[in-house]
Structure 1
Amino acid sequence: MSAKLPLNSVELEAQGISLAQQLPERAIRGSVEIDGYHLATITIEPQGERIGTALLVPGYTSSADTFNGLLQPLSERGYKVVAFSQRGQSLSEGPDNTDGYALERLGADIHDIISKLELGNDVHLLGHSFGGVVSIEAVLQDHSPFASLTMWNSGPRNMGGDLLEQRYGLLEHGPRAYYVGSQLAAGKDPEADIKGELNIIEQYYYDRLMSTNPAQLEAGINILIDQVDRTVELSRTGIPVLVSHGANDDAWPIEMQREMAEQLGADYWVVANAGHSAHADRTHTSAQLLATFWDEH
Protein backbone atom coordinates (compact mmCIF):
# COMPACT_ATOMS: atom_id res chain seq x y z
CA MET A 1 0.00 0.00 0.00
CA SER A 2 1.43 3.39 -1.00
CA ALA A 3 1.82 6.16 1.57
CA LYS A 4 -0.96 8.71 1.68
CA LEU A 5 0.05 12.03 0.14
CA PRO A 6 -0.10 15.25 2.22
CA LEU A 7 -3.16 17.39 1.67
CA ASN A 8 -3.12 19.95 -1.11
CA SER A 9 -3.17 23.62 -0.16
CA VAL A 10 -6.84 24.01 -1.09
CA GLU A 11 -7.72 21.00 1.04
CA LEU A 12 -5.92 22.56 4.00
CA GLU A 13 -7.79 25.80 3.38
CA ALA A 14 -11.04 23.84 3.50
CA GLN A 15 -10.02 22.95 7.07
CA GLY A 16 -9.49 26.63 7.90
CA ILE A 17 -5.69 26.57 7.52
CA SER A 18 -4.57 29.65 5.58
CA LEU A 19 -1.60 29.81 3.22
CA ALA A 20 0.40 31.70 5.84
CA GLN A 21 -0.28 28.92 8.35
CA GLN A 22 0.92 26.32 5.82
CA LEU A 23 4.51 27.54 6.14
CA PRO A 24 6.76 24.53 6.92
CA GLU A 25 8.59 24.58 10.24
CA ARG A 26 11.98 24.55 8.52
CA ALA A 27 11.18 27.54 6.32
CA ILE A 28 12.54 30.93 7.37
CA ARG A 29 10.93 34.30 6.80
CA GLY A 30 13.26 37.19 6.02
CA SER A 31 13.61 40.26 3.88
CA VAL A 32 15.98 41.84 1.39
CA GLU A 33 16.45 45.59 0.98
CA ILE A 34 16.34 46.57 -2.68
CA ASP A 35 16.14 50.08 -4.03
CA GLY A 36 15.32 51.33 -0.52
CA TYR A 37 12.42 48.91 0.05
CA HIS A 38 12.28 45.70 2.08
CA LEU A 39 10.96 42.75 0.07
CA ALA A 40 9.70 39.78 2.06
CA THR A 41 11.36 36.42 1.44
CA ILE A 42 10.73 32.83 2.49
CA THR A 43 13.62 30.37 2.29
CA ILE A 44 13.86 26.66 2.88
CA GLU A 45 17.09 24.69 2.69
CA PRO A 46 17.21 21.24 1.09
CA GLN A 47 17.05 18.06 3.09
CA GLY A 48 20.31 16.27 2.42
CA GLU A 49 22.56 17.15 -0.48
CA ARG A 50 21.61 20.28 -2.41
CA ILE A 51 20.80 19.50 -6.02
CA GLY A 52 19.85 23.01 -7.04
CA THR A 53 18.27 26.35 -6.17
CA ALA A 54 14.88 27.73 -7.20
CA LEU A 55 13.43 31.24 -7.03
CA LEU A 56 9.63 31.53 -7.12
CA VAL A 57 7.88 34.72 -8.27
CA PRO A 58 4.22 35.20 -7.30
CA GLY A 59 1.37 36.52 -9.40
CA TYR A 60 -0.49 39.82 -9.56
CA THR A 61 -2.45 40.07 -6.30
CA SER A 62 -0.45 37.36 -4.56
CA SER A 63 2.49 37.06 -2.16
CA ALA A 64 5.36 34.76 -1.23
CA ASP A 65 2.99 32.66 0.89
CA THR A 66 1.23 31.32 -2.19
CA PHE A 67 4.06 28.79 -2.63
CA ASN A 68 4.21 27.56 0.98
CA GLY A 69 2.80 24.14 0.14
CA LEU A 70 5.57 23.51 -2.40
CA LEU A 71 8.46 24.24 -0.06
CA GLN A 72 8.63 21.01 1.94
CA PRO A 73 8.32 18.55 -0.99
CA LEU A 74 10.79 20.54 -3.09
CA SER A 75 13.28 20.60 -0.23
CA GLU A 76 12.88 16.84 0.10
CA ARG A 77 13.91 16.55 -3.55
CA GLY A 78 17.14 18.41 -2.75
CA TYR A 79 16.26 21.98 -3.65
CA LYS A 80 16.91 25.19 -1.82
CA VAL A 81 13.83 27.29 -2.52
CA VAL A 82 13.33 31.02 -2.14
CA ALA A 83 9.96 32.71 -2.63
CA PHE A 84 9.38 36.42 -2.33
CA SER A 85 6.66 39.04 -2.45
CA GLN A 86 7.30 41.46 -5.27
CA ARG A 87 7.66 45.12 -4.38
CA GLY A 88 4.37 46.58 -3.18
CA GLN A 89 2.76 43.19 -2.70
CA SER A 90 1.49 41.95 0.65
CA LEU A 91 4.38 41.52 3.13
CA SER A 92 6.71 43.71 1.02
CA GLU A 93 7.29 47.45 0.83
CA GLY A 94 7.05 49.49 -2.35
CA PRO A 95 6.73 53.03 -3.70
CA ASP A 96 3.45 54.91 -3.79
CA ASN A 97 3.76 55.88 -7.45
CA THR A 98 3.28 53.64 -10.48
CA ASP A 99 6.62 54.70 -11.98
CA GLY A 100 8.32 52.63 -9.28
CA TYR A 101 6.75 49.46 -10.68
CA ALA A 102 7.96 49.59 -14.26
CA LEU A 103 8.43 46.12 -15.73
CA GLU A 104 12.14 46.80 -16.10
CA ARG A 105 12.40 47.57 -12.37
CA LEU A 106 10.45 44.44 -11.40
CA GLY A 107 12.76 42.31 -13.53
CA ALA A 108 15.80 43.96 -11.98
CA ASP A 109 14.45 43.10 -8.51
CA ILE A 110 14.86 39.41 -9.39
CA HIS A 111 18.51 39.91 -10.25
CA ASP A 112 19.05 41.94 -7.08
CA ILE A 113 17.53 39.19 -4.94
CA ILE A 114 19.77 36.58 -6.55
CA SER A 115 22.78 38.77 -5.86
CA LYS A 116 21.92 39.79 -2.30
CA LEU A 117 20.99 36.27 -1.24
CA GLU A 118 24.01 34.86 -3.09
CA LEU A 119 21.92 32.28 -4.91
CA GLY A 120 24.58 31.68 -7.55
CA ASN A 121 24.44 31.31 -11.32
CA ASP A 122 22.27 28.21 -11.77
CA VAL A 123 18.91 29.38 -10.46
CA HIS A 124 15.71 27.72 -11.60
CA LEU A 125 13.33 30.66 -12.04
CA LEU A 126 9.57 30.11 -11.78
CA GLY A 127 7.00 32.80 -12.47
CA HIS A 128 3.36 32.20 -11.63
CA SER A 129 0.84 34.17 -13.70
CA PHE A 130 1.95 37.86 -13.63
CA GLY A 131 5.17 36.56 -12.10
CA GLY A 132 5.85 34.85 -15.42
CA VAL A 133 5.66 38.18 -17.23
CA VAL A 134 8.19 39.61 -14.79
CA SER A 135 10.37 36.51 -15.06
CA ILE A 136 10.60 36.81 -18.85
CA GLU A 137 11.75 40.40 -18.36
CA ALA A 138 14.44 39.25 -15.91
CA VAL A 139 15.68 36.54 -18.28
CA LEU A 140 15.85 38.96 -21.21
CA GLN A 141 17.77 41.46 -19.10
CA ASP A 142 20.43 38.81 -18.40
CA HIS A 143 19.89 35.07 -18.71
CA SER A 144 23.27 34.06 -17.30
CA PRO A 145 22.10 33.45 -13.68
CA PHE A 146 19.37 31.04 -14.71
CA ALA A 147 19.48 27.28 -15.20
CA SER A 148 15.88 27.26 -16.43
CA LEU A 149 12.65 29.22 -16.63
CA THR A 150 9.22 27.87 -15.75
CA MET A 151 6.17 29.73 -17.03
CA TRP A 152 3.68 28.52 -14.46
CA ASN A 153 0.10 29.19 -15.55
CA SER A 154 1.38 32.24 -17.44
CA GLY A 155 1.23 33.37 -21.04
CA PRO A 156 3.16 35.36 -23.62
CA ARG A 157 0.88 38.32 -24.42
CA ASN A 158 -2.29 40.19 -23.44
CA MET A 159 -4.68 37.53 -22.16
CA GLY A 160 -7.78 39.46 -23.20
CA GLY A 161 -10.87 39.05 -21.08
CA ASP A 162 -11.97 41.84 -18.77
CA LEU A 163 -8.62 43.49 -18.00
CA LEU A 164 -9.86 46.93 -19.06
CA GLU A 165 -12.96 46.53 -16.91
CA GLN A 166 -10.81 45.48 -13.96
CA ARG A 167 -8.60 48.52 -14.39
CA TYR A 168 -11.62 50.80 -14.54
CA GLY A 169 -12.96 49.34 -11.30
CA LEU A 170 -9.58 49.67 -9.61
CA LEU A 171 -9.14 53.31 -10.64
CA GLU A 172 -12.71 54.23 -9.70
CA HIS A 173 -13.10 52.33 -6.44
CA GLY A 174 -9.65 51.24 -5.28
CA PRO A 175 -8.39 47.72 -4.43
CA ARG A 176 -11.67 46.72 -2.79
CA ALA A 177 -13.22 46.69 -6.27
CA TYR A 178 -11.37 43.42 -6.89
CA TYR A 179 -12.89 41.92 -3.75
CA VAL A 180 -16.39 43.03 -4.68
CA GLY A 181 -15.97 41.67 -8.20
CA SER A 182 -14.82 38.27 -6.97
CA GLN A 183 -17.67 38.08 -4.46
CA LEU A 184 -20.27 38.89 -7.10
CA ALA A 185 -18.74 36.37 -9.52
CA ALA A 186 -18.97 33.70 -6.82
CA GLY A 187 -22.55 34.61 -5.94
CA LYS A 188 -21.53 35.84 -2.49
CA ASP A 189 -22.40 38.92 -0.48
CA PRO A 190 -20.15 41.82 -1.65
CA GLU A 191 -20.54 43.49 1.74
CA ALA A 192 -19.48 40.50 3.85
CA ASP A 193 -16.27 42.31 4.77
CA ILE A 194 -18.17 45.35 6.03
CA LYS A 195 -20.52 43.10 8.00
CA GLY A 196 -17.61 41.20 9.56
CA GLU A 197 -18.83 37.91 8.10
CA LEU A 198 -15.63 36.65 6.46
CA ASN A 199 -14.32 33.26 7.54
CA ILE A 200 -10.62 32.80 8.30
CA ILE A 201 -9.67 31.96 4.70
CA GLU A 202 -11.77 34.73 3.18
CA GLN A 203 -10.25 37.15 5.69
CA TYR A 204 -6.74 36.03 4.72
CA TYR A 205 -7.30 36.79 1.03
CA TYR A 206 -9.08 40.04 1.83
CA ASP A 207 -6.20 41.20 4.04
CA ARG A 208 -3.66 40.15 1.41
CA LEU A 209 -5.42 42.25 -1.20
CA MET A 210 -5.96 45.28 1.00
CA SER A 211 -2.35 45.27 2.22
CA THR A 212 -1.09 45.47 -1.36
CA ASN A 213 0.05 48.93 -2.43
CA PRO A 214 -2.58 50.41 -4.80
CA ALA A 215 0.22 51.75 -7.02
CA GLN A 216 1.46 48.18 -7.49
CA LEU A 217 -2.02 47.04 -8.50
CA GLU A 218 -2.42 49.88 -11.00
CA ALA A 219 1.02 49.35 -12.51
CA GLY A 220 0.53 45.59 -12.64
CA ILE A 221 -2.78 45.74 -14.49
CA ASN A 222 -1.23 48.18 -16.96
CA ILE A 223 1.65 45.77 -17.59
CA LEU A 224 -0.82 42.95 -18.23
CA ILE A 225 -2.88 45.09 -20.60
CA ASP A 226 0.23 46.21 -22.49
CA GLN A 227 1.90 42.76 -22.49
CA VAL A 228 3.51 41.97 -25.85
CA ASP A 229 4.78 38.64 -27.11
CA ARG A 230 8.52 38.23 -26.45
CA THR A 231 8.69 34.53 -27.25
CA VAL A 232 11.17 34.98 -30.11
CA GLU A 233 13.50 37.00 -27.89
CA LEU A 234 13.20 34.37 -25.16
CA SER A 235 14.01 31.55 -27.57
CA ARG A 236 17.26 33.27 -28.56
CA THR A 237 18.59 33.00 -25.01
CA GLY A 238 18.75 29.21 -25.30
CA ILE A 239 17.54 28.84 -21.71
CA PRO A 240 15.55 25.62 -21.02
CA VAL A 241 11.87 26.47 -20.54
CA LEU A 242 8.93 24.62 -19.04
CA VAL A 243 5.43 25.83 -19.85
CA SER A 244 2.91 24.31 -17.47
CA HIS A 245 -0.64 25.08 -16.40
CA GLY A 246 -3.66 23.53 -14.78
CA ALA A 247 -6.04 21.81 -17.16
CA ASN A 248 -8.73 24.23 -16.01
CA ASP A 249 -6.59 27.39 -16.09
CA ASP A 250 -8.92 30.33 -16.73
CA ALA A 251 -6.39 33.17 -17.11
CA TRP A 252 -4.28 33.07 -20.28
CA PRO A 253 -6.06 30.96 -22.92
CA ILE A 254 -4.70 27.43 -22.83
CA GLU A 255 -4.13 27.41 -26.59
CA MET A 256 -1.97 30.53 -26.20
CA GLN A 257 0.19 28.82 -23.60
CA ARG A 258 0.49 25.69 -25.73
CA GLU A 259 1.56 27.75 -28.76
CA MET A 260 4.21 29.48 -26.66
CA ALA A 261 5.63 26.11 -25.64
CA GLU A 262 5.69 24.95 -29.26
CA GLN A 263 7.46 28.11 -30.44
CA LEU A 264 10.06 27.75 -27.70
CA GLY A 265 10.55 24.02 -28.17
CA ALA A 266 9.81 23.92 -24.45
CA ASP A 267 8.61 21.14 -22.21
CA TYR A 268 4.83 21.39 -21.91
CA TRP A 269 3.07 19.76 -18.99
CA VAL A 270 -0.60 20.05 -18.08
CA VAL A 271 -1.66 19.42 -14.48
CA ALA A 272 -4.96 17.54 -14.45
CA ASN A 273 -7.76 18.56 -12.10
CA ALA A 274 -6.14 21.93 -11.43
CA GLY A 275 -6.92 25.56 -12.21
CA HIS A 276 -4.89 28.75 -12.47
CA SER A 277 -3.07 28.03 -9.20
CA ALA A 278 -2.06 24.47 -9.96
CA HIS A 279 0.32 24.48 -6.99
CA ALA A 280 -2.65 24.97 -4.67
CA ASP A 281 -5.00 22.49 -6.33
CA ARG A 282 -2.40 19.72 -6.86
CA THR A 283 0.43 20.67 -4.51
CA HIS A 284 2.41 17.43 -4.30
CA THR A 285 1.96 16.67 -8.00
CA SER A 286 3.16 20.17 -8.91
CA ALA A 287 6.23 19.88 -6.69
CA GLN A 288 7.23 16.54 -8.21
CA LEU A 289 6.67 17.86 -11.72
CA LEU A 290 8.85 20.89 -11.08
CA ALA A 291 11.62 18.93 -9.40
CA THR A 292 11.67 16.45 -12.28
CA PHE A 293 12.11 19.26 -14.81
CA TRP A 294 14.78 20.93 -12.72
CA ASP A 295 16.61 17.61 -12.25
CA GLU A 296 17.00 17.41 -16.02
CA HIS A 297 18.57 20.88 -16.24
Structure 2
Amino acid sequence: MLLDVTGAPLAVIVFDPAATTEHRGDALLVHGFTGSKDDFAPLGPLLAQRGYRVVTFDNRGQHESSHSADEAAYRVPALAADTAALADALGIERPHLLGHSFGGLIAQRAVVDDPGRWASLTLLCSGPGANPRRGNYEAIIAEVGSKTMAESWIGDREAWARGEADPEMLKRRWLATDPRSLEVHARELMTAPSLVAEAAATGIPAHVAFGVTDDAWPQELQREMAADLDARLTVIPDAGHCPNTENPALTADVLADFWDSVSPR
Protein backbone atom coordinates (compact mmCIF):
# COMPACT_ATOMS: atom_id res chain seq x y z
CA MET A 1 0.00 0.00 0.00
CA LEU A 2 0.96 3.65 -0.40
CA LEU A 3 0.86 5.98 2.62
CA ASP A 4 1.33 9.74 2.56
CA VAL A 5 4.36 10.43 4.76
CA THR A 6 5.90 13.89 5.15
CA GLY A 7 4.00 15.09 2.08
CA ALA A 8 4.51 12.27 -0.43
CA PRO A 9 3.71 8.55 -0.62
CA LEU A 10 5.88 5.73 0.65
CA ALA A 11 5.27 2.10 -0.36
CA VAL A 12 4.60 0.01 2.75
CA ILE A 13 4.05 -3.65 3.63
CA VAL A 14 2.56 -4.71 6.98
CA PHE A 15 2.86 -8.28 8.25
CA ASP A 16 0.18 -8.83 10.90
CA PRO A 17 0.13 -11.66 13.44
CA ALA A 18 -2.75 -14.09 13.06
CA ALA A 19 -5.83 -13.33 15.14
CA THR A 20 -5.02 -16.37 17.27
CA THR A 21 -1.45 -15.18 17.98
CA GLU A 22 -0.65 -13.01 20.99
CA HIS A 23 0.38 -9.53 19.83
CA ARG A 24 3.71 -8.94 21.54
CA GLY A 25 4.67 -5.66 19.89
CA ASP A 26 5.42 -3.79 16.69
CA ALA A 27 8.58 -3.44 14.66
CA LEU A 28 9.75 -1.13 11.87
CA LEU A 29 12.40 -2.55 9.54
CA VAL A 30 14.52 -0.17 7.43
CA HIS A 31 16.24 -1.59 4.35
CA GLY A 32 19.75 -0.97 3.11
CA PHE A 33 21.54 0.58 0.13
CA THR A 34 19.87 -0.22 -3.23
CA GLY A 35 17.35 -2.36 -1.30
CA SER A 36 13.63 -2.24 -0.65
CA LYS A 37 10.85 -3.52 1.58
CA ASP A 38 10.99 -6.78 -0.40
CA ASP A 39 14.27 -7.65 1.33
CA PHE A 40 12.21 -8.44 4.43
CA ALA A 41 9.58 -10.55 2.63
CA PRO A 42 11.03 -13.86 3.94
CA LEU A 43 11.43 -12.45 7.47
CA GLY A 44 8.19 -10.57 8.04
CA PRO A 45 5.80 -13.55 8.18
CA LEU A 46 8.13 -15.41 10.56
CA LEU A 47 8.23 -12.47 12.95
CA ALA A 48 4.45 -12.18 12.72
CA GLN A 49 4.24 -15.82 13.81
CA ARG A 50 6.18 -14.79 16.92
CA GLY A 51 3.55 -12.13 17.66
CA TYR A 52 5.13 -9.03 16.14
CA ARG A 53 3.35 -6.73 13.71
CA VAL A 54 6.09 -5.88 11.23
CA VAL A 55 6.13 -2.78 9.05
CA THR A 56 8.65 -2.27 6.28
CA PHE A 57 8.77 0.21 3.42
CA ASP A 58 10.73 1.51 0.47
CA ASN A 59 12.91 4.44 1.44
CA ARG A 60 12.10 7.60 -0.48
CA GLY A 61 13.54 7.41 -4.00
CA GLN A 62 13.68 3.61 -3.92
CA HIS A 63 11.53 1.11 -5.82
CA GLU A 64 7.82 1.94 -5.36
CA SER A 65 8.13 4.98 -3.08
CA SER A 66 7.95 8.51 -4.44
CA HIS A 67 10.93 10.40 -5.76
CA SER A 68 11.85 13.88 -4.59
CA ALA A 69 13.05 16.97 -6.40
CA ASP A 70 15.05 17.86 -3.28
CA GLU A 71 18.16 15.74 -2.81
CA ALA A 72 18.11 16.58 0.90
CA ALA A 73 15.09 14.26 1.13
CA TYR A 74 17.47 11.36 0.40
CA ARG A 75 19.92 12.13 3.19
CA VAL A 76 19.99 10.23 6.46
CA PRO A 77 18.24 12.89 8.61
CA ALA A 78 15.29 13.11 6.20
CA LEU A 79 15.03 9.33 5.87
CA ALA A 80 15.01 9.05 9.67
CA ALA A 81 12.20 11.61 9.79
CA ASP A 82 10.29 9.53 7.23
CA THR A 83 10.68 6.47 9.46
CA ALA A 84 9.28 8.26 12.49
CA ALA A 85 6.46 9.83 10.47
CA LEU A 86 5.49 6.40 9.13
CA ALA A 87 5.07 5.11 12.69
CA ASP A 88 2.82 8.08 13.38
CA ALA A 89 0.82 7.53 10.19
CA LEU A 90 0.10 3.95 11.25
CA GLY A 91 -0.63 4.88 14.85
CA ILE A 92 2.22 2.71 16.16
CA GLU A 93 3.55 3.60 19.60
CA ARG A 94 7.08 2.64 20.66
CA PRO A 95 7.90 0.02 18.02
CA HIS A 96 11.17 -1.85 17.91
CA LEU A 97 13.40 -0.33 15.21
CA LEU A 98 15.74 -2.33 12.98
CA GLY A 99 18.07 -1.01 10.32
CA HIS A 100 19.84 -3.28 7.86
CA SER A 101 23.16 -2.05 6.42
CA PHE A 102 22.60 1.59 5.31
CA GLY A 103 19.29 1.35 7.13
CA GLY A 104 21.28 1.08 10.34
CA LEU A 105 22.56 4.63 9.87
CA ILE A 106 18.96 5.78 9.38
CA ALA A 107 17.80 3.87 12.46
CA GLN A 108 20.56 5.34 14.64
CA ARG A 109 19.62 8.84 13.54
CA ALA A 110 15.93 8.18 14.27
CA VAL A 111 16.80 6.97 17.78
CA VAL A 112 19.08 9.91 18.52
CA ASP A 113 16.50 12.39 17.21
CA ASP A 114 13.64 11.00 19.33
CA PRO A 115 14.74 8.21 21.70
CA GLY A 116 11.45 8.00 23.58
CA ARG A 117 9.64 6.94 20.41
CA TRP A 118 11.33 3.53 20.11
CA ALA A 119 11.32 0.38 22.25
CA SER A 120 14.72 -0.86 21.05
CA LEU A 121 17.36 -0.50 18.33
CA THR A 122 18.72 -3.38 16.24
CA LEU A 123 21.60 -2.85 13.81
CA LEU A 124 21.75 -5.73 11.34
CA CYS A 125 24.98 -5.95 9.34
CA SER A 126 25.53 -2.23 9.79
CA GLY A 127 28.13 0.07 11.28
CA PRO A 128 28.61 3.12 13.47
CA GLY A 129 28.91 5.55 10.57
CA ALA A 130 30.71 5.80 7.24
CA ASN A 131 31.85 2.48 5.85
CA PRO A 132 35.65 2.45 5.41
CA ARG A 133 35.22 0.14 2.40
CA ARG A 134 34.41 2.86 -0.14
CA GLY A 135 35.04 1.25 -3.53
CA ASN A 136 31.50 0.05 -4.24
CA TYR A 137 30.00 3.43 -3.43
CA GLU A 138 32.46 5.33 -5.60
CA ALA A 139 31.66 2.95 -8.46
CA ILE A 140 27.90 3.50 -8.06
CA ILE A 141 28.33 7.28 -8.11
CA ALA A 142 30.37 7.08 -11.32
CA GLU A 143 27.91 4.63 -12.88
CA VAL A 144 24.68 6.53 -12.23
CA GLY A 145 26.36 9.71 -13.40
CA SER A 146 27.24 8.27 -16.79
CA LYS A 147 24.50 5.71 -17.59
CA THR A 148 20.75 5.39 -17.43
CA MET A 149 19.34 2.91 -14.94
CA ALA A 150 18.47 0.60 -17.84
CA GLU A 151 22.00 0.76 -19.20
CA SER A 152 23.56 0.12 -15.81
CA TRP A 153 21.36 -2.95 -15.31
CA ILE A 154 22.82 -4.76 -18.29
CA GLY A 155 25.96 -6.76 -17.58
CA ASP A 156 27.25 -7.83 -14.18
CA ARG A 157 24.16 -6.61 -12.31
CA GLU A 158 21.79 -8.53 -14.58
CA ALA A 159 23.97 -11.65 -14.32
CA TRP A 160 23.98 -11.41 -10.51
CA ALA A 161 20.20 -11.11 -10.40
CA ARG A 162 19.74 -14.35 -12.33
CA GLY A 163 21.15 -16.24 -9.36
CA GLU A 164 18.77 -14.61 -6.86
CA ALA A 165 15.31 -15.78 -5.80
CA ASP A 166 13.35 -13.06 -7.62
CA PRO A 167 15.36 -11.57 -10.49
CA GLU A 168 12.34 -9.84 -12.03
CA MET A 169 11.65 -7.92 -8.82
CA LEU A 170 15.30 -6.93 -8.62
CA LYS A 171 15.17 -5.59 -12.16
CA ARG A 172 11.91 -3.68 -11.54
CA ARG A 173 13.36 -2.24 -8.35
CA TRP A 174 16.53 -1.07 -10.03
CA LEU A 175 14.71 0.54 -12.97
CA ALA A 176 12.18 2.27 -10.69
CA THR A 177 14.79 3.78 -8.35
CA ASP A 178 15.80 7.43 -8.62
CA PRO A 179 19.50 7.43 -9.55
CA ARG A 180 19.96 10.62 -7.52
CA SER A 181 18.92 8.72 -4.41
CA LEU A 182 21.62 6.14 -5.06
CA GLU A 183 24.23 8.87 -5.44
CA VAL A 184 23.15 10.63 -2.24
CA HIS A 185 23.00 7.37 -0.28
CA ALA A 186 26.45 6.38 -1.55
CA ARG A 187 27.88 9.72 -0.41
CA GLU A 188 26.20 9.30 2.97
CA LEU A 189 27.79 5.87 3.31
CA MET A 190 31.20 7.42 2.68
CA THR A 191 30.81 10.41 5.00
CA ALA A 192 28.21 9.75 7.73
CA PRO A 193 29.52 10.53 11.23
CA SER A 194 29.26 7.96 13.97
CA LEU A 195 26.19 8.37 16.18
CA VAL A 196 27.05 5.50 18.50
CA ALA A 197 27.96 7.66 21.50
CA GLU A 198 24.71 9.63 21.15
CA ALA A 199 22.67 6.45 20.71
CA ALA A 200 24.34 4.85 23.73
CA ALA A 201 23.58 7.93 25.81
CA THR A 202 19.85 7.42 25.23
CA GLY A 203 20.01 4.13 27.16
CA ILE A 204 17.84 2.42 24.55
CA PRO A 205 18.14 -1.40 24.55
CA ALA A 206 20.33 -2.28 21.59
CA HIS A 207 21.23 -5.33 19.56
CA VAL A 208 24.01 -5.74 17.00
CA ALA A 209 23.75 -8.76 14.70
CA PHE A 210 25.54 -9.83 11.56
CA GLY A 211 26.10 -12.92 9.43
CA VAL A 212 29.16 -14.99 10.15
CA THR A 213 30.58 -14.15 6.69
CA ASP A 214 29.33 -10.54 6.54
CA ASP A 215 31.95 -8.46 4.73
CA ALA A 216 30.36 -5.00 4.45
CA TRP A 217 31.48 -3.10 7.56
CA PRO A 218 34.48 -4.87 9.10
CA GLN A 219 33.28 -7.32 11.75
CA GLU A 220 35.78 -5.92 14.25
CA LEU A 221 34.09 -2.54 13.86
CA GLN A 222 30.67 -4.08 14.41
CA ARG A 223 31.88 -5.80 17.57
CA GLU A 224 33.31 -2.52 18.87
CA MET A 225 29.99 -0.84 18.10
CA ALA A 226 28.14 -3.47 20.12
CA ALA A 227 30.47 -2.90 23.08
CA ASP A 228 30.06 0.88 22.85
CA LEU A 229 26.26 0.49 22.80
CA ASP A 230 26.32 -2.08 25.62
CA ALA A 231 24.33 -4.12 23.11
CA ARG A 232 23.52 -7.77 22.73
CA LEU A 233 25.81 -9.21 20.05
CA THR A 234 24.67 -12.05 17.78
CA VAL A 235 26.61 -13.70 14.98
CA ILE A 236 24.17 -15.50 12.69
CA PRO A 237 25.45 -18.75 11.12
CA ASP A 238 24.90 -19.68 7.48
CA ALA A 239 24.55 -16.02 6.52
CA GLY A 240 26.58 -13.13 5.17
CA HIS A 241 25.47 -9.54 4.70
CA CYS A 242 21.76 -10.38 4.32
CA PRO A 243 20.67 -12.82 7.06
CA ASN A 244 17.10 -11.63 6.44
CA THR A 245 17.12 -13.52 3.12
CA GLU A 246 19.97 -15.99 3.62
CA ASN A 247 18.82 -17.48 6.93
CA PRO A 248 15.44 -15.91 7.70
CA ALA A 249 14.19 -18.56 10.14
CA LEU A 250 17.12 -18.21 12.51
CA THR A 251 17.24 -14.45 12.02
CA ALA A 252 13.56 -14.20 13.00
CA ASP A 253 14.25 -16.18 16.17
CA VAL A 254 17.27 -14.01 17.00
CA LEU A 255 15.28 -10.79 16.57
CA ALA A 256 12.13 -11.96 18.35
CA ASP A 257 14.13 -13.36 21.26
CA PHE A 258 15.77 -9.97 21.74
CA TRP A 259 12.49 -8.08 21.44
CA ASP A 260 10.86 -10.49 23.90
CA SER A 261 13.68 -9.82 26.37
CA VAL A 262 13.17 -6.05 26.36
CA SER A 263 9.36 -5.92 25.98
CA PRO A 264 7.21 -5.35 29.06
CA ARG A 265 5.34 -8.46 30.16
Give the alignment's TM-score, normalised by structure 1.
0.81
Q: Does 1:130 align with 2:102?
A: yes
User: What residue is the counterpart of 1:57 in the other structure?
Assistant: 30
Give 3-state SS (helix, strand or coil) of 1:296's partner.
helix
Question: Structure 1 stretch 169-178 or stretch 66-75: which is displaced more?
Answer: 169-178
CA distance in 1, matches of 2:37, 2:204: 25
What is the alpha-carbon distance in structure 2 between the residues aligned to residue 199 and residue 151 of structure 1? 24
CA deviations on 1:182-207 (whole Å, 9 max, x unpaired) are: 449xxx59xxx9xxx99983332122
Alpha-carbon shift at residue 254 of structure 1 (Å) = 0.9
| 2:238 aligned with 1:282 | no
Structure 2 counterpart of 1:49, which letter? Answer: E
Aligned to 2:187: 222
Q: CA deviation at 1:87?
A: 0.8
Match of 2:258 in 1: 293
CA pair 200-247 structure 1, distance change in 2 beyond 3 A: closer
Residue 61 (structure 1) shift:
0.8
Kindly indicate whether residue 144 of structure 2 is the aligned counterpart of residue 170 of structure 1.
yes
Conserved 8 A contact 1:96-1:215? no
- Matches for 1:25-44 after TM superposition, within 5 Å: 30-44=1-15
2: CA distance between counterparts of 1:53 and 1:160? 33
2:50 to 66, 69, 77: 77
- The secondary structure found in structure 1 opposite 2:109 is helix
Q: How does 1:1-297 map to 2 (within 5 A)?
A: 30-47=1-18, 48-120=21-93, 122-161=94-133, 162=135, 163-175=137-149, 179=153, 182-183=156-157, 188=159, 201-297=166-262
SS in 2 for 1:144: helix
Structure 2 length as normaliser, TM-score?
A: 0.90
Matches of 1:250 and 1:91, distance apart in 2 = 28
Whether the 8 Å contact between 2:215 and 2:240 is mirrored in structure 1 is yes
Mean Cα deviation higher: 56-65 or 202-211? 202-211
Query: Percent of aligned pairs with the same residue?
Result: 34
The number of aligned residues is: 258
Flag the structure with larger Rg.
1
**Aligned 8 A contact 1:247 1:273 in 2:** yes
Whole-angstrom CA distance in 1 between matches of 2:115 and 2:129 = 20
Preserved contact between residue 104 and residue 126 of structure 2 (Cα < 8 Å): yes
- 1:238-266 CA distances to partner (integer Å, 9 max, x unpaired)? 00110001111121111111110011110
In structure 2, what is the Cα distance between the partners aligned to 1:242 and 1:168? 34
Tell me the alpha carbon deviations over residues 81-128 of structure 1, each in whole angstroms, 9 at most, x when there is no partner. 1111111110111203422222211111011011110011x2100001
1 CA distance for matches of 2:65 and 2:208?
28
| Aligned 8 A contact 2:23 2:53 in 1 | yes
Cα–Cα, structure 1 residues 168 and 80, in superposed 2: closer, same or farther, change >3 Å?
Answer: same
How much has 1:180 moved relative to structure 2? 5.4
Give secondary structure in 2 for the equivalent of 1:69: coil
- For residues 182 and 217 of structure 1, what CA distance do their matches in structure 2 show? 18
Superposition CA RMSD, Å: 2.2
Output one character per residue of 1:263-297: Cα deviation in whole Å (capped at 9) or x when no partner.
11100001111011111110100001100000001
Q: Give the C-alpha shift of residue 173 in structure 1.
A: 2.3
Q: How far apart are the structure 2 equivalents of 1:86 and 1:63? A: 7
Residue type of the alignment partner of 1:232 = A
Call closer, same or farther: CA 1:236–1:174 in 2, change over 3 Å: farther
Question: Measured at CA, do residues 155 and 35 of structure 1 come closer, stay the same or move farther in structure 2, by a change above 3 Å?
Answer: same
